[in-house]
Amino acid sequence: MVDEVFLVRKMYTTPQEIRDLLGVTIEDAPDDILEEFIDKAQHVVIKYWQVQIKDETMTGSINGSNNTFSVSNKFIADTDFDKKITTNDFTIYLWTDEDDPGSRVEATVSTFYPEHGKFVLSSAPSTDVEKITIDYSYYTKAIDWDLVNLATAYYAGMLWVAREQYLVPETFAIGGIRVRSVQPWERLREEFFRIVNQITSVPMDYVRYRKMVLAPRIKGRFRGPGTVVDYEESRGRKRYVKDTT
């Protein structure tokens, strides 16, 4: 008998936080639907504060004894949405023919220093290797995980409202009169961009990166705005409530 394997999605926010934000129930917005929107949202939001790099040629001597190589950008970014910087967030390739992608093989890494963009391979590449490349992303802004949570929740909530509940044309005609409808997702979009502006207002630097990625957070320190409900209430705003009339 083969055991079933269930893949657990890594997410910057949760379905329940989105339901709290929107004021809807699990019957209105089931987990599986919201998880799809969260997945779409987090692939969008990361583009505001990190840059994706493909096939960058790493610097370092390929002489059969050196196993340390570097990239042109530091502050390596999380790409699999687990809020950690691990070997899952980048891939290094060894090319025996620099013009043939079919000749490349994935290298293994023994350790790396994401704040410096430096990587130590498990063994020194042989002189048969013509080049070494890497796929990775790096941060340009000093992000805060609490605000990332909020931004993702707002964007996913906007998608749910726009696509699942309010598929009403922005403008429509009644006789000879053209009417513009009020789109409920527009306020969510406005709040999303306001949060993004907060996240992207400070450039990333060495100290902020170490606090965010390398130094474990201690309970009670680096306190953010909390849940999306706390955030809404702190601003004195009413949460979005589904219109049931």
Chain-wide mean pLDDT for the chain? 82
In 3D space, the residue among 148, 165, 158, 171 whose CA is nearest the CA of residue 224 turns out to be 148
Last residue of a domain, one of 139, 167, 196: 139
pLDDT at 18: 93
User: Where in the sequence is the domain holding 56, given as residue range(s)?
Assistant: 50-139
Q: Which of 29-38, 119-128, 207-216 has the lowest mean pLDDT?
A: 207-216
Q: Which of 30-39, 145-154, 157-166, 181-190 has the lowest mean pLDDT?
A: 181-190
Is 50 exceeded by the pLDDT of residue 172? no
Query: Are 89 and 137 a contacting pair, CB within 8 Å?
Result: yes
- Does any domain span residue 199? yes
If you average pLDDT over residues 51-78, what whole number do you get?
A: 96
- Mark whether 70 and 122 lie in a shared domain: yes
- Does any domain span residue 90? yes
- Does any domain span residue 10? no
Query: Are 38 and 44 a contacting pair, CB within 8 Å?
Result: no
If you average pLDDT over residues 69-81, what whole number do you get?
A: 96
Name the pLDDT band for 126 (thresholds 50, 70, 90): very high
- Mark whether 133 and 54 lie in a shared domain: yes
Name the pLDDT band for 157 (thresholds 50, 70, 90): very high
**Residue 7, phi then psi, degrees to nearest 5:** -85, 130
- Does any domain span residue 241? no
- Mark whether 194 and 125 lie in a shared domain: no
pLDDT digits over 180-221, tens only?
455 667 788 889 999 999 999 999 999 999 888 765 443 333
- Does any domain span residue 2? no
